[in-house]
């Protein structure tokens, strides 16, 4: 009778351990499914992070491409000379603004890269 009781107790212990493992696997599976189907990443997580300088350089390149296309379309007779000059002036002004912003950004990065200036004493020594 004692061996039957020990066998029954051992079976209950094994089955409760299996139940704990099964419960842990089920909880992990539910957590995985919730993560896959209900948690959406932000668009900013997927997009490459671009600096202000990168954005300005891309904008500059786009303006240059537009100027090149405008010249081609003018030569092919799509625009009159007055329209061409007006659009060309507009694009050139926009390019000048972007180039100024690029200069400001690169200048501020150069200034920030250097350390603080040493303080001069009354004798002019540092």
Give the model confidence (pLDDT) of 33-67 as tens digits: 888 888 777 766 676 777 889 999 999 999 999 99
pTM for the structure as a whole: 0.51
Tokens of 88: 């060309």
Low-confidence residues in the chain, pLDDT < 50: none
Alpha helices in 39-80, H assignment, sequence order: 43-46, 52-75
Q: What is the pLDDT of residue 58?
A: 94
Q: What is the pLDDT of residue 77?
A: 94
The answer to whether residues 63 and 93 touch, using CB atoms and an 8 Å cutoff, is: no
Q: Distance between CA atoms of 26 and 34, rounded to whole angstroms?
A: 12
The answer to whether residues 123 and 117 touch, using CB atoms and an 8 Å cutoff, is: no
């Amino acid at each position: 009778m004692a061996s039957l009781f020990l066998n029954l107790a051992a079976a209950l212990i094994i089955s409760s351990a299996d139940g704990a493992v099964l419960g842990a696997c089920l909880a992990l599976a539910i957590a995985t499914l919730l993560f896959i189907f209900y948690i959406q990443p932000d668009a900013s997580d997927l997009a490459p992070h671009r600096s202000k300088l990168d954005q300005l350089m891309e904008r500059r390149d786009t303006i240059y491409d537009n100027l090149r296309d405008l010249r081609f379309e003018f030569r092919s007779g799509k625009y009159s000379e007055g329209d061409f000059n007006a659009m060309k002036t507009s694009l050139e002004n926009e390019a000048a603004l972007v180039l100024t912003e690029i200069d400001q950004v690169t200048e501020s990065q150069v200034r920030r890269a250097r350390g603080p200036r040493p303080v001069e004493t009354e004798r002019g020594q540092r």
